[in-house]
């Protein structure tokens, strides 16, 4: 198997900084053409692939399945190898050098100049390798990466198909590197990524700053900024501690809560100082001042009821699979959603790259973060794989730590559509669901957590309850959810068996609905599918969309919804835009449905401002 000819004139694709919420000045993007070889028998280590040039090449960060990679192989690959030689910049002032691989699917081993520098299991979270000892500033570095993707084993793969071709609700696979590879220089000791927790009521941010390789006599200084300059600065000495906490107060006249209408971000400058006040390390970040909460059956943003008009976003691209072709493509997806009247998205079965979250932060786009648990078995009696993969909770904790400080994230969803009858004697699902829920709560006490989206709810302490309902008849659909005000909820069943504990009165979301099959040309072939009978005309589609949405918008027992879905994905033709992101429908007309009278009914508030009684994101 050899690489195809150059199909894209891109020397450095995706050149933007991949981690906008923690940026150092000295960094180098390593995307571009790398040596590449498929290792069908996973025998490359025995055959010396760490020591020789590889037979093909590939355009990183696109996976070998993606057309943009220049390789485009659709068959399964048990293992693949990458190789690149580069020079670490000699002018870097930071004495330590870190090599980052933002995501490699599924198991990665990294060598630099013949020495193993890192291993990682899990295809959605970053790998960081300290290569200072083998490739300091000015040195030549030969990087070799082996990525193993044992598709026959349980692993968190999200919507990637284990079969050779996409089928049903499963799509293209990703093997190997699929996000940016990059290098940065840090101090020694150095700042690690901070946790920033907003406290809207107190008008401040709480900064937890960790230090790597700490020693005596250090101090951390943090400076909060807005468009007018410095807002607040705080400094705290360390005595060898691994972490310190600083409170950054915001004067009342400079407080701007982050919300969809005004997604204000404060700049944040971080410095690590030595005993004489000299700077050992520095980085830039940002933060949004907002709160999330619950009042009875309502979800709150900044203390006000927030009706969540979400869209399901699966994050697949026809030429990049899981990798967006450009930074602009990430922005475009958000803008398409907002143009159709949605105020956010459920990021479905994928840990999205941080650039997407950065754009959501600055554009005021609300998102629920989700773990891509599919591939670990549904835990039902007919499942071949009824256990989570070894990196299940580990990788989710990595994702939570990576994304904790993004203001756009307003909730977490560890699992999706798990299913096991409550009467089943092997109650593995109970332990997995509770473990994922407790891990999420331990990592983040500030956001609501849904134990599992749709199907098997197993945690009574979950903050939110939901259902998935793809009923296409609006009258029947409305009847499903008509009992919420009276204390009766629609609960998913499986094979006509009970799989969930009862609704406990939490805020209730219909977190998947719609999914109406529609193709503008009306003829996508037998492989095309969507939910229900395809409307006979575009007007029939609009009518069905309006009535399904209104059934939830006009229901006072519903706290929000998530419409399926933003884009077509391969054979699944139920997006409001097609796979190439071309609108299939009049987006403004869809927006009008969601921003109709019941959705934007306003009432006078004590402060004299007009706010939505149902949706803070309405306009």
- pLDDT for residue 10: 52
Task: Give me 332's structure tokens.
Answer: 């475009």
Question: Alpha carbon 416 to chain centroid distance?
Answer: 14
DSSP letter at 445 equals S
Q: Are residues 273 and 322 in the same domain?
A: no
Distance of alpha carbon 142 from alpha carbon 569, whole angstroms: 38
Distance of alpha carbon 63 from alpha carbon 104, whole angstroms: 9
Q: Are residues 309 and 382 in the same domain?
A: yes
> Which single residue is written with the structure tokens 């293992």?
79
Question: Alpha carbon 507 to chain centroid distance?
Answer: 23
Q: Are residues 268 and 414 in the same domain?
A: no
- Residue 310: name the closest of 485, 518, 538, 464 by CA: 464
Q: Are residues 282 and 304 in the same domain?
A: no
Distance of alpha carbon 429 from alpha carbon 435, whole angstroms: 10
Q: Are residues 125 and 262 in the same domain?
A: no
Distance in Å from the first CA to the final CA of the chain: 54
CATH number at residue 383: 3.20.20.80
Q: Are residues 256 and 181 in the same domain?
A: no
Q: Could you give the count of Cα atoms lying within 13 Å of 166 in the half-sphere of its Cβ?
A: 20
Q: Are residues 249 and 231 in the same domain?
A: yes
Last residue of some domain: 287, 315, 338?
287
CATH number at residue 33: 2.60.120.260
Question: Alpha carbon 275 to chain centroid distance?
Answer: 39
Distance of alpha carbon 267 from alpha carbon 223, whole angstroms: 8
CATH number at residue 253: 2.60.40.10
- pLDDT for residue 388: 59
H or E segment to which residue 117 belongs: strand 115-121
Task: Give me 80's structure tokens.
Answer: 């693949």
Q: In the beta sheet, which residues pair with residue 493?
A: 498
Instruction: Read off the pLDDT of residues 259-275 as tens digits, 9 standing for 90 and up.
Output: 999 999 999 999 999 99
Does a structural domain hold residue 194? no
Q: CA dist 233 to 2, 239, 249, 258, 415, Å?
A: 56, 20, 8, 20, 40
Last residue of some domain: 236, 259, 287?
287
State whether the Cα torsion 372-378-379-383 is positive or negative.
negative
Determine the Cα angle at 57 with ends 53 and 62, to 5°.
135
Q: Kindly give, in sequence order, each residue whose CB lies less than 8 Å from that of residue 385, ignoring residues fewer than 6 positions away.
A: 154, 375, 376, 377
Does a structural domain hold residue 136? yes
Does a structural domain hold residue 4? no
Task: Give me 200's structure tokens.
Answer: 């809207």
Q: Are residues 39 and 151 in the same domain?
A: yes
Last residue of some domain: 230, 258, 287?
287
Task: Name the CA radius of gyration of the chain, rounded.
Answer: 25
What residue numbers bound the domain in which 216 lies? 201-287
Q: Which residues of the chain have pLDDT under 50?
A: 1-9, 380-386, 524, 598-619
Does a structural domain hold residue 15? no
Q: Are residues 352 and 271 in the same domain?
A: no
- pLDDT for residue 154: 85
Instruction: Read off the pLDDT of residues 382-414 as tens digits, 9 standing for 90 and up.
Output: 444 445 556 789 999 999 999 999 999 999 999
- Residue 156: name the closest of 396, 417, 375 by CA: 375
Q: Are residues 179 and 323 in the same domain?
A: no
Distance of alpha carbon 208 from alpha carbon 234, whole angstroms: 12
Does a structural domain hold residue 601? yes
Total domains, the chain: 3
Distance of alpha carbon 175 from alpha carbon 180, whole angstroms: 14
Sequence-ordered strand ranges (E) for 240-297: 243-249, 266-273, 279-287, 292-295
531: region left, alpha or beta (phi > 0 left; psi from -120 to 50 alpha): beta
Does a structural domain hold residue 524? yes
Q: In the beta sheet, which residues pair with residue 87?
A: 140
Q: Are residues 368 and 474 in the same domain?
A: yes
* In contact, 370 and 350? CB cutoff 8 Å: yes
Q: Kindly give, in sequence order, each residue whose CB lies less than 8 Å from that of residue 112, ignoring residues fewer than 6 positions away.
A: 99, 129, 131, 134, 135, 141, 142, 143, 144
Determine the Cα angle at 424 with ends 462 and 159, to 5°.
60
- Residue 411: name the closest of 507, 287, 515 by CA: 507
* In contact, 57 and 43? CB cutoff 8 Å: no
Q: CA dist 378 to 312, 433, 586, Å?
A: 20, 11, 37
State whether the Cα torsion 162-164-165-171 is positive or negative.
positive
* In contact, 440 and 412? CB cutoff 8 Å: yes
Distance of alpha carbon 394 from alpha carbon 439, whole angstroms: 9
Helix axes 327-339, 354-363, angle to 10 degrees: 40
- pLDDT for residue 603: 26
* In contact, 410 and 259? CB cutoff 8 Å: no
Does a structural domain hold residue 51? yes
* In contact, 330 and 324? CB cutoff 8 Å: yes
- Residue 447: name the closest of 464, 423, 430 by CA: 464
Q: Are residues 262 and 241 in the same domain?
A: yes
> Which single residue is written with the structure tokens 């009432």?
603
* In contact, 292 and 367? CB cutoff 8 Å: no
DSSP string, 398-414: HHHHHHTT-TTEEEEE-
DSSP letter at 537 equals S
- Residue 560: name the closest of 591, 517, 594 by CA: 594
Does a structural domain hold residue 216? yes
């Amino acid at each position: 198997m050899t690489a195809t000819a150059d199909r894209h004139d891109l020397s450095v694709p995706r050149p933007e900084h991949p981690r906008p919420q923690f940026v150092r000045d000295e960094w180098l993007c390593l995307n571009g053409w790398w040596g590449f070889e498929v290792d069908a028998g996973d025998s490359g280590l025995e055959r010396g692939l760490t020591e020789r040039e590889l037979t093909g090449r590939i355009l990183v960060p696109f996976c070998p399945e993606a057309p943009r990679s220049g390789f485009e192989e659709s068959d399964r690959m048990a293992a693949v190898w990458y190789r690149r030689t580069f020079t670490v910049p000699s002018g870097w002032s930071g004495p330590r050098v870190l090599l980052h691989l933002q995501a490699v699917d599924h198991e990665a081993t990294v060598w630099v100049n013949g020495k193993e520098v890192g291993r990682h299991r899990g295809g959605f979270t970053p790998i960081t390798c300290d290569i200072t000892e083998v490739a300091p500033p000015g040195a030549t570095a030969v990087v070799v990466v082996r990525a193993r993707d044992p598709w026959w084993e349980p692993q968190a793969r999200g919507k990637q198909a284990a079969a050779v071709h996409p089928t049903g609700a499963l799509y293209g696979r990703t093997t190997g590197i699929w996000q940016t590879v990059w290098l940065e220089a840090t101090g020694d000791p150095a700042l690690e990524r901070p946790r920033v927790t907003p406290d809207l009521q107190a008008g401040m941010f709480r900064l937890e700053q960790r230090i790597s390789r700490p020693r005596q006599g250090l101090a951390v200084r943090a400076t909060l900024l807005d468009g007018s300059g410095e807002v607040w600065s705080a400094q705290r000495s360390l005595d060898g501690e691994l972490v310190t906490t600083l409170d950054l107060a915001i004067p009342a006249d400079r407080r701007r809560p982050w919300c969809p209408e005004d997604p204000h971000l404060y700049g944040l400058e971080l410095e690590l100082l030595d005993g004489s006040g000299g700077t050992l390390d520095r980085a830039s970040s940002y933060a949004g001042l907002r709160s999330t909460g619950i009042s009875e059956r309502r979800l709150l943003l900044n203390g006000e009821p927030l009706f969540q008009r979400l869209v399901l976003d699966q994050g697949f691209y026809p030429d990049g699979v899981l990798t967006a072709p450009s930074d602009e493509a990430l922005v475009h997806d958000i803008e398409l959603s907002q143009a159709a009247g949605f105020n956010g998205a459920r990021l479905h079965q994928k840990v999205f790259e941080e650039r997407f979250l950065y754009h959501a932060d600055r554009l005021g786009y609300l998102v629920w973060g989700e773990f891509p648990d599919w591939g670990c078995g549904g835990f039902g009696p007919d499942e071949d794989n009824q256990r989570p993969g070894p990196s299940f909770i580990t990788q989710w904790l990595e994702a939570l730590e990576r994304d904790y400080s993004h203001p756009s994230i307003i909730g977490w969803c560890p699992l999706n559509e798990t299913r096991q009858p409550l009467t089943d004697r092997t109650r593995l699902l109970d332990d997995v669901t509770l473990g994922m829920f407790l891990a999420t709560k331990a990592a983040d006490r500030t956001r609501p957590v849904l134990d599992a989206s749709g199907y098997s709810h197993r945690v009574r302490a979950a903050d939110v309850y939901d259902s998935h309902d793809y009923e296409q008849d609006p009258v029947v659909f409305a009847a499903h959810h008509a009992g919420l005000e009276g204390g009766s909820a629609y609960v998913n069943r499986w094979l006509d068996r009970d799989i969930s504990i009862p609704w406990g009165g939490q805020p209730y979301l219909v977190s998947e609905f719609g999914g109406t099959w529609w193709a503008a040309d009306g003829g996508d072939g037998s492989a095309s599918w969507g939910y229900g009978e395809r409307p006979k005309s575009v007007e029939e589609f609009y009518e069905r969309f309006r009535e399904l949405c209104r059934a939830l918008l006009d229901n006072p027992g519903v706290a929000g919804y998530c419409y399926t879905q933003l884009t077509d994905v391969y054979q699944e033709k139920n997006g409001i835009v097609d796979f190439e992101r071309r609108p299939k429908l009049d987006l403004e007309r869809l927006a009008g449905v969601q921003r109709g009278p019941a959705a934007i009914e306003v009432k006078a508030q004590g402060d004299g401002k007009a706010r939505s009684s149902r949706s803070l994101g309405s306009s």
